[in-house]
Structure 1
């Protein structure tokens, strides 16, 4: 399960994706975002799942809710509610999320890696930059300045509870 983002964060992501400011995010723009965070769909799967070629903000929120509450299907498509695998794969979902943030595959998430991923999502700016270090420190139980998987898991389970 992914960490839940607030409406304000989702609005910023939507506005960053909406390059021509028409109030719509195209499937190409949405697919670009999904690939940046390590979620891969074919354009056909995405269009079939969404049923249209672009999303307004409310539809974008609905899409986010559907993938964050159900998780992503291992086969590459979106799961239907009746196909939800439940909490049995929570560890797998957390491991996948950890890999998105662990950019250099060293088994740890540094403040720089966290900032990089948040920047790609449009969720980091100069004002929020201090938050990356403090977020790491808040869950860094062994005080090594970075999060290992267990520390990341603790952070995510608190965040999504």
Structure 2
């Protein structure tokens, strides 16, 4: 999956820096981690980052380190995950690591499977972090729920 750009990360950092002091506190960082599905205590977050707060460059480093770990996990997953990664890539037309409703509609049309339904509602149903698109984990959950 593709990483976020430094500009996108700076925007996220600025939104997370709720008190505007130029640092993301452990509480602010933990809030973000919980929003994206990682549930840690403040003590666990502190042991991971080894600081009480992060400036922008430290935040970028933290993001890059967890993104690398997540990409390595996807690449080293079992054979079923490999197949899912390859399938995900078919729908992730622009390679940014997310499937948008436009990408979903485009691929379904290309495959002759689009039935005129609103792809936004299809995405919304499985979009657990409510960002309007599916990341790999949301896609994986969708596929596993659909198969079951």
Report the TM range for the smaller structure's normalisation.
0.5 to 0.7
Pair 44,87 (structure 1): closer, same or farther in 2 beyond 3 Å: same
Residue 8 of structure 1 deviates from its aligned partner by 1.1
Q: Is the 8 A contact 1:3 1:68 kept in 2?
A: no
Residue 64 of structure 1 deviates from its aligned partner by 0.3
CA deviations over 1:93-139 (Å, ceiling 9, x no partner): x79xx9xxxxxxxxxxxxxxxxxxxxxxxxxxxxxxxxx54344344
Equivalent residue for 2:114?
143
Q: Is the 8 A contact 1:139 1:152 kept in 2?
A: no
SS at match of 1:143: coil
Equivalent residue for 2:66?
67
Equivalent residue for 2:11?
12
Based on CA coordinates, which of the two structures has the bigger radius of gyration? 2
**The one of 102, 105, 108 aligned to 1:134:** 102
Distance in 2 (alpha carbons) for counterparts of 1:139 and 1:35: 32
Mapping of 1:7-156 within 5 angstroms?
Answer: 7-71=6-70, 87-89=75-77, 91=81, 132-140=100-108, 141=111, 142-143=113-114, 145=119, 146=122
Pair 139,51 (structure 1): closer, same or farther in 2 beyond 3 Å: farther
53-62 or 34-43, which deviates more = 34-43
TM-score normalized by the length of structure 1: 0.52
Aligned residues: 106
Equivalent residue for 2:93?
none
Distance in 1 (alpha carbons) for counterparts of 2:135 and 2:50: 35
Distance in 2 (alpha carbons) for counterparts of 1:19 and 1:71: 27
Q: Which runs of 5+ in 1 are unaligned?
A: 73-83, 99-131, 157-161
